[in-house]
Amino acid sequence: SAVISQKPSRDICQRGTSLTIQCQVDSQVTMMFWYRQQPGQSLTLIATANQGSEATYESGFVIDKFPISRPNLTFSTLTVSNMSPEDSSIYLCSVRSGGSNYGYTFGSGTRLTVV
């Protein structure tokens, strides 16, 4: 299955600033997925990123707050903009596991704390 490198692994940011999270996959993939995992909550899909097109956002998430780039088939970034303490969470990127119709491979996540 694919190997995902995600960075930074953690960060502490001031409110009102922005943080860009990078996700690098060791193989070409059509779709990359960005999830948020809030403390005590389930993983929630933020958006799906396809190379060469605009990301598709889930209900409750907007491009202005979470702009996504997908410049090629192995790389994507998620920016958390104008951060507030409510954005403190773990952010994970994910791709569909190679040859699997069910499973997804996740990066190690970015633990974000907004102060």
Interacting residue with other proteins among 66, 94, 95, 112 (CB under 8 A): 94
What is the closest distance, in whole angstroms, from the C-beta atom of residue 1 to other proteins in the complex?
8
Rounded Cα distance, 76 and 80, in Å: 13
What is the closest distance, in whole angstroms, from the C-beta atom of residue 6 to other proteins in the complex?
8
Over the window 64 to 93, marking each residue x when it contacts other proteins by CB under 8 A and - when it does not, the resulting string is ----------------------------x-
CB-based contacts of 13, cutoff 8 Å, min separation 6: 19, 83, 112, 113, 114, 115
**Cα dihedral sign for 80, 17, 8, 77?**
positive
- Cβ neighbours of 2 (radius 10 Å): 17
Q: Contact residues for other proteins (CB under 8 A)?
A: 4, 6, 9, 31, 33, 40-45, 48, 58, 92, 94, 96-97, 100-109, 111
